[in-house]
Amino acid sequence: MNAADKTDAMVLLHDVGHAFHANQRGHDGADMLFHGLTRRLDAGHVYALIGPSGSGKSTLLSIIAGWIAPLEGSVERVHCEQLHWVQQNPHGVAHRSALDHVALPFIARGERREAANRHALGLLAAFGLGSLAMRRFCDLSGGEAQRLMLARGVATSPQLLLVDEPTAQLDRHTAREVNDHLHALSRSGVIVVIATHDPDTRDACTDVIDLRDYQ
C-alpha cells in the first residue's frame, strides 16, 4: 500500500449506536452507551476519542476495527484493509533493540535489513527516539516504550491505527513525552483514533470525538 493509496482511506460511521447488552435494544436509549454517531474519519487526521469512564471508548474502537458489530447503524471502512492496535501497556521483546522492533515490519514486507534500518531510524527520530535506537526494550522508560509502540504501529503501514489510552499507565512527565510526539502520527498519512481520558492527549490530536455528544 503506497502513500497515495493511504490518502484514499476513510472510515464512515453511519448513525452508530451500541449498548452493554446487545439484546437490550431499548430505543429510549436507557441502555445505550452511545447512539446517533455519524462521522467521517480521514487519513492524515488524529482523532481523540474522549468521554467519561464507561462511555464506550474502547468499545467504539472495536466497532471501528470491525471486531464488534454495532447494535445500531453501520461502519464502512474504505481502503482500510490493514489496521494496527496499540494497547495501553507496551509489550516488546526484552533484549531486542528499539531499532529491531521498528525494522521488523519493514523486513517482513521484504525489505533488506539495510533499507529496513534506514526507514526504522527515520520513524524513531520522528518519535524522539533516534538516539535510543540501539537501546534494549527492557532498558527503555515507560514513555520511551510507549513511543516505540507508536513508531512500530506506523511501521506496520496500516491504513487505520487504533490507540487505546496511550498515557493511562504513565506519570505526568512521561505522559507529556508521549503527547509531545503524537503529531508524528498525523504526518504518517494514516487514519488514527486514540481513546483517551487525558486532556493533553486530546489537545495533541487534530480532531475530537466526544461520546458525551452521543448519549
58 pLDDT band (50/70/90 cuts)? very high
Residue boundaries of the structural domains of the chain: 43-61+82-214
Query: What does the pLDDT read at residue 3?
Result: 45
Q: Binning pLDDT at 50, 70 and 90, where does residue 169 land?
A: confident
Angle between helices 98-108 and 142-155 (to 10 degrees): 10
**Separation between Cα atoms, residue 33 and residue 25, nearest integer Å:** 11
Q: Residues 191-203: what's their mean pLDDT?
A: 95
Which superfamily, per CATH, for 43-61+82-214? P-loop containing nucleotide triphosphate hydrolases (3.40.50.300)
Apex CA 182: angle with CA 35 and CA 39, to 5°?
Answer: 25
- Please tell me the predicted confidence (pLDDT) of residue 88: 86
The predicted-structure confidence for 111-124, as pLDDT tens digits, reads as follows: 999 999 999 999 99
Q: Is the pLDDT of residue 4 over 70?
A: no
Residue pair 57/163 in contact (Cβ under 8 Å)? The answer is: no
Confidence of residue 154 (pLDDT cuts 50, 70, 90): very high
Q: Which three cell numbers stand for residue 146?
A: 510507549
Residue 158 has pLDDT above 90, yes or no: yes
Burial of residue 206 (number of CB atoms within 10 Å: 0-12, 13-18, 19+): middle
